[in-house]
Amino acid sequence: MNSATVFEKSRPGRGTSFISGHATPVCADLSPKALRSAPPRLPELTEGEVVRHYTNLSRNNWGVDVGFYPLGSCTMKYNPRLAEQIASWPEFSAAHPLRPVRAAQGFLRIMYETERILSRLCGMARFTLQPAAGAQGELCGMLIIRKHHATRRDRRNTVIVPDSAHGTNPATAALAGFKVVTCPSSDEGLVDIGALKKLVNDDLAGIMLTNPNTLGLFERDIREICYIVHNAGGLVYYDGANFNALVGRFRPGDMGFDVVHLNLHKTFGTPHGGGGPGSGPVGVVEKLEPHLPVPLITKGPEEFELEEHRPLSIGRLNAFAGNALVIVKAYIYMRLLGTAGLREVSGNSVLAANYLKQRLSEVYTPSHPGRCMHEFVLSAERHKNEAGVRAVDIAKRLIDLGFHPPTMYFPLTVPEALMIEPTETENLETLDAFVDALLQIDREARESPEMLHNAPHETPVGRLDEVEAAKNLNVRWQAEPSANTSHSQDASKRKDGQ
């Protein structure tokens, strides 16, 4: 496998040129100031070489269309092609965000209806579709909570976040200007009610809760938690990124939550695509509606409108209406499945997770016994103690065996954590093959731990220094100083027609 960059594959003079050097330059009428002084240092390859280069690069990529992707908490499930296709129609994809509202009625209707469906599914009064990711939805929600207290001239400044929360929760609360207080989990992995009671006081602005929590466990005591927090004058925020475990069966609004965010790119089958575009709509109860960001999509007597003037709003969160095409895809997904289909989504995602958990518990230690929701966490602590094989070794070996690794070392409360989320779109054969791979790795840990320390063995590059990569990210190719000069000389020679 040749992992050279296009620049390294470049050979002077080999480039394909469709425009002869003697043709009139395209930019003849540009002022000299706007022209380059030296030609760009572009790689020179034949068209065929370029096609092979990028085709082979694309084949090194892993995605849900290639194979099983049990990345816990991320919900990497199949994205229906029908939704992709319809969203790519020019009626949607070529719609300019500044087109007059009158000419965007179809688009606005889809957004309005999406908002209504989400409100009904969650038991909330109203949603905004603006936030462009789950984390931005959290920020939107926490700014709404801040605005609520500020409007009442209440100086509450503390937000409670359980220790099992997604890392974005404490970060969001801090970014929204709150002091973050951590609430420990009980031995069962749920919010410790006794500890929570000690943390509430007159400074409490709210609590951020995830259900199911990041251990894949259903927080049973939601009503009591809501009661404790409301009684102290705080609001309850629901991180519904993992609503795929509950959709069609549970409405956060009925349980006492005041603000909710959902991840369309998890629960509602839209793609994650290289870190985006995502969509994290936020729903609120009636008393918080005035604080939703502008514009809100409303239904006037004749047509849909964008309501801009809302004096108590937190303001504008994003340009225009958020990631509009993602919303179209989620709308199609929800309309395709209907209420009964969405209920099946949550049922099957929980069933698949429990099947894997049950089978894998023979050799890996689950963080908590009993049933899970849509995901579960295994600990490789025994493998570490007995064979020096860590969670990361197991995860890397899975790549050799044809699987994307699970989420590792999260949540932090579980040592050597492997967090597995199969989703509802995998068949039994795939789930069984994944179990077989993990059982094989368990045997390998006893027989040849060294081999696991060096995994993966079958990939273009082996074990990467991930800390270095995260802290000193460098993805820019730069020419060696000497290669650099000869390259640009060659290019300038050609330009001069020599």
User: Using CB under 6 A as the criterion, which residues of the chain lie in contact with ligand PLP when the complex forms?
Assistant: 73, 133-135, 166, 168, 210, 239, 241-242, 263, 278, 280
Non-local CB neighbours of 477 within 8 Å, separated by 6+ positions: 5, 7
Q: Between β-strands 158-162 and 179-183, what pairing exists: parallel, antiparallel or unpaired?
A: parallel
* Least distance to ligand PLP, CB of residue 433, Å: 25
Residue 363: CB atoms within 10 A of its CB come to 16
Report the candidate in 242, 402, 267 with the shortest Cα–Cα distance to residue 329.
267
| DSSP bridge pairs for 236 | 207
- Starting at the edge strand found earlier in the chain, the sheet holding 204-210 runs 126-128, 282-284, 259-262, 235-240, 204-210, 158-162, 179-183
Angle CA 189–191–196, to nearest 5 = 150
Exposed/middle/buried for residue 231 (C-beta within 10 Å: 0-12, 13-18, 19+): exposed
Q: Which is nearer to ligand PLP, 242 or 354 (CB)?
A: 242
The answer to whether the beta carbons of residues 297 and 115 sit under 8 Å apart is yes
Give me the least distance between CB of 458 and ligand PLP, in Å please.
29
Tell me how far, at minimum, the Cβ of 166 lies from ligand PLP, in Å: 3
Smaller CB separation from ligand PLP, 240 or 248: 240
Is 182 or 358 the residue whose CB approaches ligand PLP more closely? 182
Residue 182 or 459: which CB sits closer to ligand PLP?
182
For ligand PLP, give the closer residue by CB, 12 or 273: 273
Cα dihedral 367, 369, 374, 378 in deg (nearest 10) = 30
Q: Which is nearer to ligand PLP, 10 or 185 (CB)?
A: 185
Q: To the nearest whole angstrom, how small is the minimum distance from the Cβ of residue 136 to ligand PLP?
A: 7
Query: Contact, 417 vs 408, CB < 8 A?
Result: yes
* Residue in 245, 321, 252 with CA at minimum distance from that of residue 284: 252
Closest approach, Cβ 75 to ligand PLP, in A, equals 8
Task: Assess contact for 321 and 279: CB atoms under 8 A.
Answer: no
Q: How far apart are CB 25 and ligand PLP at their closest, in Å?
A: 45
The alpha carbon of 167 is separated from its chain's Cα centroid by a whole number of angstroms, namely 13
The one-letter amino acid code at 312 reads L
Position of minimal CB gap to ligand PLP: 134
Q: Which is nearer to ligand PLP, 281 or 456 (CB)?
A: 281
Beta carbon nearer to ligand PLP, 210 or 346: 210
